[in-house]
Structure 1
Amino acid sequence: MPQPNSSFATVAKAPNPDRDIRVARAAEYPKQYWYLLASFIALVSLCRILSLVYAYTRRSRERSIAWRLSSTVVNAFRIIVFRLTVPVGRSHIVNLAEIFLGVMYLTAMLTWTLINTTNTMGLKFDPMYWANRAATMAASQFPLLVALGMKNNIISFLTGVSFEKDSSKSTLCGFRTFLTFRQIKLGLDKKTISPTLLREERWLQCGILAMTSLTVLSIVSIRPLRSSRYDMFKVVHFVFGTIVLLGAYFHMQIEAQLGHYVWPAILLWALDRVLRWCRMLLFAQFSSSDNASIDVLSPNFMRVTADKPRFFYWSPGQCAYLTIPSVGLVAHPFTISSVDTKSKQDKLIFLIRVHDGFTRRVLNKVENSRRTRLLLDGPYSSPPVTRGFDGVVLIAGGTGVAFTLPLLLDLLQQSKQGKHLPCRRILFIWAIRDADHINWISAPLVDALSDLPKDLEVSIKIYITGSATRREELSEDWEDKDSGTDTPTTDSEKLNCDGILTASTVVNVKQGERPDFPSLLHAEMSNVKDGRMGVNVCGPFGLAEGVRSALGAPQIGTVMTGQPSIVLHVETFGMVSVRVYLDITFVDVLFPAVN
């Protein structure tokens, strides 16, 4: 029997015309998206440099009508974008700038994922096009996600946005969404996740492991869980973060040789930790065995004073991570409430509110010994620049003074040193619970208020929230939330809080009332005509919102009447949450000359 012609017996499989197109676009589009991100970061960095140059070279002078008009536009934009907020829960808000950036980030990711997904047969949104591309786009965001969360953060250094700011959350949401695209694709194809494939394919196992670990991280990162068990959160975050990075790398590398999207994130993650460990070892090398003392200021407040290690330099308002080996090995961040005078005798001072957990264990340790071994890591964060303003307002509630006090001391120090600052007025407001809290800052403040320059007006207003019977009513949203109760001071004790009370006539202490921010700020604005005013706030949620509301929508257009252009920096804290709101004003750095 004759054999059939081989040309008819074997039919060659036609090549898929879509494959090369899909592969090329999946490789090219993440690069295009990174070009967009890099351009945006470069633009903000350039604008920040211009803003800093302007702040350090600006001098007070008369303003023209043209300046007022341009500054009015900038001020209105700043108020709308940064001070109009949307509440999220009881003690969390987001401003319109955060919403806009988050939406734009997700929109850009969706655009590059779903664009040009029509195959050669005319089928639109072909899953074979966008599913794998979504995974590639998600993997390409790993370096950004890690970079935003680094303590040694090059993006923070360039843009001035602190690492602790929640802008990284929009990245996490977008990243999580696009991993879900890949998960949906696998779920639609039953054969893809068959039991046999799960047992045999390492790339799939690594991907599922990374996805599961990321889900766990998303759950434990919920603010109440994270804050209530911070030490446990740090350990879980370290372990599962490592699993996510390694799992994602092997998933991408084994399946598609795309591990180059992930290994830079692993490198950044490791580099950040190596730098932190090296810094801690360096500071420990130049410190004594018992380099810190702990003083109990009240049943729920304490002061930690540490010797300044060699090579440790910081700016006012920065924070450092503290580790006390005898209490625990997890580092906790606290604001440095002292200023760096470049002297070997400088001390690092931390005013700490006692809560449950680490701070409670530190307080219990004081019962046995006031001296302890302290490991330092820092300094970190990007505090506001107080130069370049005609007037500066510093507002604090409770231990928020740890942030505003060094800003005040630094301004006074620069003025005494004869540096040509445009600042003519400084208003310092502090809301506290008991009069004896004044003693926390009396010593450095008394020294700073002596021999003030004649051309600088300083006003310090301290509000004591009242007697024990009214304390809860007045301080509910204005002070640190108690985990216990402070011992109330008597009237005689309040009157005997000397030092700061008798040091200078610029100090005004009021009892039984809270600050009226609209009146105080409007009065200060009338004293800073045709200039710039910086308002810096640190305190609980209620206090921060009171200041934000006072500087909100009613102030639009006031610059045209001669009122100052205002830049607001707000940091809020609480027992459950820590939130940073930075009125960084993209317009500030785009148009520094008109602010």
Structure 2
Amino acid sequence: MENHAGLLAPRHIQNYSEADSLEPHWGYYSRVVPCTNDAGSCEYLDQVYYSHDLSILYSGILWSTILGIVFLWTIGRKVWAPSRADGLIPGSISIRKSSVTRFIRAFSAYVRSSLLPDAARPIFGRTTRLQVLILAALASYLLVWSFAGITYQIWITPVKANPGLYNTRSSLGPFSDRIGVLAYALTPLSILLSSRESILSLLTGVPYQSFNFLHRWLGYIIFIQGSVHTIGWTIIEVRLYQPQPTTAIEWIVQPYIIWGVVAMILLMLLFVLSTPWAIRVTGYEFFRKAHYVLALIYIGACWGHWEQLKAFLLPSILIWFLDRGVRMLRTALIHHQYLPDGSMGFRAAPASLTHFSDPEHGDIIRMDFVQPHDAWKIGQHFYLCFTESSIWQSHPFTPLNLPQTHNGTVSHSYIMRAKKGETKKIADIALKKLALSSKATTPVILTGPYGESIAETLMPEDNILCVAGGTGITYVLPVLLDLIQKPAVRDRKIQLIWAIRRKVDLCWVEQEIVSVNNAARSHGIEVHIYVTREASGSSTSSIQDEALDGSEKVTCGSPSCLSINGVQSPMSLDIQKIGSKGVNRHPDLQMLVNGFVDTTVRGPTKVFGSGPGGMISDLRGIVAACNSGAKVWRGNERFDVSLICDDRLEW
């Protein structure tokens, strides 16, 4: 009882020294029973404690709702997993093409037609309407809980120590406390949504990067809640309570208030540094590292401000450290191998570098290496750390080759455009080494794999359209390489649309494109390559052009190009030049996608897309327009068109 009195005497109207008993309240200090204050103060205390108890109840309901949705999603993912013609996916339940399946497909098509396009891009960026709808539902849910159960009333109560002075007590206090409790309750969810080793991804199958949007905007919501909580209590203590300024001075110097001020300052820094403007000014790496440090200190400051709600803060800290610990463990397992002296230890992968010059848009570097570990799944990516430039940075890259294990090792191939920062350093290293030798290597540390598998759920009746822009070819190319290794499916339509700036860009993935092109006839694959930055008839030193019925035949024989089986092999492809000198034109995706869907013989269509943000936004709108739930319900599967895209646009 003395402990309560020592903590609350400067700010609380209850007299703990006269208490007959204490009534416990979870997440708050115990209440003195019976109330010995004036009638107005006792009514106010009734509202304070009642509202706080409801705040805890609402927080429990909030988390019960979240966990319930995740549970149902996890169960539904297993129950409604699609089955292949050649067997069941492990853990799934077979569902024949019944009215239930038809309804699910029709409903999915209807949802895509309405919610796939971008929503209010100036506000939310390149984000689908579905994610904005989920955010709106969460915000509305929180808005209801913020105001529910509070009695809106004003109590004028006398100040015992100063006769003639009165305190104005109102529902602003319980409301401000409610907002603060909800901000604490949302903190673990914010950490969960930001985790790379995501528990949510493990349960729902949704890749962790898809949660980035909700994590960012949930942070904005917490910032608003913290601001309202701070402003509310500042008004109460500085204006409504008497005498002034004595009350305000005694209030602001209390340790729990000092920690609250520190927490609010840190929260403001987190908000400002996470804006697109601040990230552009300070750089992404500064933002990322500052975000980690400030977030941890912020949680600690919240603990110091109101320790009674540490049940929300402790899981946040544990999830944060668990995420980082699992990252380090996975990296250690990948690189724990035999060293040259025969012992076991940590060894980085020696990656060979191939340099492709492009002074105008940024050079391209291709990396190839082998590493002993389990194969990843098509569509997944790794974080690569280049130790020769910096051990404190890692960047996500998608392997462009198939994940196949040979003698315990897996081959990795990546391409990246060196514009600035870490990739520019690697390009400079490659140039320096190639100037001294015919071969260049650099040590690479891998972390991963991360992301979803984009090829496992493909059905034999699915038509495949791959759309890539520039280095986005790395995301869609493994899908095609996987298809050509499987038996051809009758009446299946497969097409690749790749937009590149120059013809010589084909040399980045010469060997892989040759493999796809060689299987084009047997598997019915159409390859369309569009050159966007070169005028028709222009020439490049490493490319020999030959006019061929309006298209061009390209021979990739540059020394910088990869050889096939040790021998330079010409690569012949049909290419369309759509650019002109000084003018950049892009392929008409709406015409190309609609043309593909209209010419399919049977079955739904899956569109795989990767490239610049503008291209992905265009694809979302185009694919959405191709969907029709009503037509799919009537049995016309041509209007069931889904989009699987590389959504790491913010990286």
Q: Which runs of 5+ in 1 are unaligned?
A: 1-10, 472-485, 581-595
Aligned partner of 1:273: which letter?
Answer: R
Q: Confirm or deny that 1:236 pairs with 2:290.
A: yes
Query: Compared with structure 1, are the counterparts of its residues 470 and 172 closer, same or farther at alpha carbon in structure 2 (3 Å cutoff)?
Result: farther
What does residue 322 of structure 2 align with?
271
Q: Equivalents in 2 of 1:510, 1:48: separation in Å?
A: 42
> Is the 2:499–2:530 contact (alpha carbons within 8 Å) kept by the matching residues of 1?
yes
Q: Equivalents in 2 of 1:403, 1:76: separation in Å?
A: 27
What does residue 28 of structure 1 align with?
57
**In structure 1, which of residues 285, 301, 323 is the aligned counterpart of residue 336 of structure 2?**
285
Q: Equivalents in 2 of 1:487, 1:236: separation in Å?
A: 46
What does residue 278 of structure 2 align with?
225
Determine which structure has greater relative contact order: mean sequence separation of CA pairs < 8 Å that are 6+ residues apart, divided by chain length: 1
Deviation at 1:43, TM superposition (A): 2.7
User: How does 1:383-402 map onto structure 2 within 5 Å?
Assistant: 383-385=453-455, 387-388=458-459, 390-402=462-474
> Is the 2:349–2:371 contact (alpha carbons within 8 Å) kept by the matching residues of 1?
no
User: How does 1:163-312 map onto structure 2 within 5 Å?
Assistant: 163-165=208-210, 166-191=213-238, 194-199=248-253, 201-227=254-280, 229-253=283-307, 257-286=308-337, 288=347, 291-299=350-358, 300-305=362-367, 307-312=369-374
TM-score normalised by structure 2 residue count: 0.74
Query: Compared with structure 1, are the counterparts of its residues 214 and 487 closer, same or farther at alpha carbon in structure 2 (3 Å cutoff)?
Result: farther
**In structure 2, which of residues 16, 41, 47 is the aligned counterpart of residue 18 of structure 1?**
47
Deviation at 1:161, TM superposition (A): 2.5
Aligned partner of 1:357: which letter?
Answer: G
What does residue 420 of structure 2 align with?
356
Q: Equivalents in 1 of 2:106, 2:570: separation in Å?
A: 40
What does residue 3 of structure 1 align with?
none
Aligned partner of 2:209: which letter?
Answer: E
CA distances 1:243-264 after superposition (whole Å, capped 9, x unpaired): 11211222220xxx11111110
Query: Compared with structure 1, are the counterparts of its residues 572 and 261 closer, same or farther at alpha carbon in structure 2 (3 Å cutoff)?
Result: closer
Q: Equivalents in 2 of 1:66, 1:289: separation in Å?
A: 51
Deviation at 1:108, TM superposition (A): 0.8
What does residue 483 of structure 1 align with?
none
Partner of 2:400, secondary structure, is: coil
Structure with the larger strand share: 2
Q: Equivalents in 1 of 2:144, 2:106: separation in Å?
A: 35
CA distances 1:250-306 after superposition (whole Å, capped 9, x unpaired): 2220xxx11111110000001111111222233333364562222212232333435
> Is the 1:430–1:461 contact (alpha carbons within 8 Å) kept by the matching residues of 2?
yes
Query: Compared with structure 1, are the counterparts of its residues 547 and 355 closer, same or farther at alpha carbon in structure 2 (3 Å cutoff)?
Result: same
Count of matched residue pairs: 540
Deviation at 1:31, TM superposition (A): 0.5
Deviation at 1:67, TM superposition (A): 7.3
What does residue 375 of structure 2 align with?
313
Q: Confirm or deny that 1:334 pairs with 2:397.
A: yes
Q: Confirm or deny that 1:159 pairs with 2:204.
A: yes
Deviation at 1:115, TM superposition (A): 0.3
Q: Confirm or deny that 1:98 pairs with 2:131.
A: yes
**In structure 1, which of residues 132, 135, 141 is the aligned counterpart of residue 177 of structure 2?**
132
Query: Compared with structure 1, are the counterparts of its residues 37 and 231 closer, same or farther at alpha carbon in structure 2 (3 Å cutoff)?
Result: same
Query: Compared with structure 1, are the counterparts of its residues 236 and 65 closer, same or farther at alpha carbon in structure 2 (3 Å cutoff)?
Result: closer
Query: Compared with structure 1, are the counterparts of its residues 71 and 161 closer, same or farther at alpha carbon in structure 2 (3 Å cutoff)?
Result: closer
User: How does 1:530-569 map onto structure 2 within 5 Å?
Assistant: 530-553=602-625, 555-556=627-628, 559=632, 560=634, 563-569=638-644
Query: Compared with structure 1, are the counterparts of its residues 466 and 32 closer, same or farther at alpha carbon in structure 2 (3 Å cutoff)?
Result: closer
Aligned partner of 2:37: which letter?
Answer: K
Higher-Rg structure is 2
Deviation at 1:469, TM superposition (A): 8.8
Q: Equivalents in 1 of 2:170, 2:116: separation in Å?
A: 37
Q: Confirm or deny that 1:346 pairs with 2:410.
A: yes
Aligned partner of 1:387: which letter?
Answer: L
Deviation at 1:62, TM superposition (A): 12
CA distances 1:295-326 after superposition (whole Å, capped 9, x unpaired): 21223233343544333431112221111222
User: Percent identity at matched positions?
Assistant: 20
**In structure 2, which of residues 497, 512, 521 is the aligned counterpart of residue 444 of structure 1?**
512
Q: Confirm or deny that 1:88 pairs with 2:122.
A: yes
Query: Compared with structure 1, are the counterparts of its residues 487 and 18 closer, same or farther at alpha carbon in structure 2 (3 Å cutoff)?
Result: farther
> Is the 2:209–2:647 contact (alpha carbons within 8 Å) kept by the matching residues of 1?
no
> Is the 1:571–1:579 contact (alpha carbons within 8 Å) kept by the matching residues of 2?
no
CA distances 1:159-199 after superposition (whole Å, capped 9, x unpaired): 23222232222322222222122112222123488344433
Query: Compared with structure 1, are the counterparts of its residues 516 and 451 closer, same or farther at alpha carbon in structure 2 (3 Å cutoff)?
Result: closer
Aligned partner of 1:280: which letter?
Answer: T
Q: Equivalents in 1 of 2:590, 2:519: separation in Å?
A: 31
**In structure 1, which of residues 145, 155, 161 is the aligned counterpart of residue 190 of structure 2?**
145
User: How does 1:44-63 map onto structure 2 within 5 Å?
Assistant: 44-54=73-83
Query: Compared with structure 1, are the counterparts of its residues 412 and 195 closer, same or farther at alpha carbon in structure 2 (3 Å cutoff)?
Result: farther
CA distances 1:198-244 after superposition (whole Å, capped 9, x unpaired): 33x22222222122112112111122432561222222122212211
Aligned partner of 1:32: which letter?
Answer: I
Query: Compared with structure 1, are the counterparts of its residues 142 and 69 closer, same or farther at alpha carbon in structure 2 (3 Å cutoff)?
Result: closer
Aligned partner of 2:500: which letter?
Answer: I
Deviation at 1:396, TM superposition (A): 0.1
What does residue 109 of structure 2 align with?
75
What does residue 463 of structure 1 align with?
530
Aligned partner of 1:333: which letter?
Answer: P
Query: Compared with structure 1, are the counterparts of its residues 366 and 66 closer, same or farther at alpha carbon in structure 2 (3 Å cutoff)?
Result: closer
> Is the 2:185–2:312 contact (alpha carbons within 8 Å) kept by the matching residues of 1?
yes
**In structure 1, which of residues 570, 573, 588 is the aligned counterpart of residue 645 of structure 2?**
570
> Is the 1:306–1:374 contact (alpha carbons within 8 Å) kept by the matching residues of 2?
no
Q: Confirm or deny that 1:39 pairs with 2:63.
A: no
Q: Equivalents in 2 of 1:85, 1:22: separation in Å?
A: 36
User: How does 1:408-487 map onto structure 2 within 5 Å?
Assistant: 408-413=480-485, 415-416=486-487, 424-447=492-515, 450=518, 456-465=523-532, 467=534
> Is the 1:398–1:430 contact (alpha carbons within 8 Å) kept by the matching residues of 2?
yes
Deviation at 1:143, TM superposition (A): 0.8
Q: Which runs of 5+ in 2 are unaligned?
A: 1-34, 90-94, 157-168, 242-246, 338-345, 434-439, 547-551, 558-562, 580-585
What does residue 574 of structure 2 align with?
508
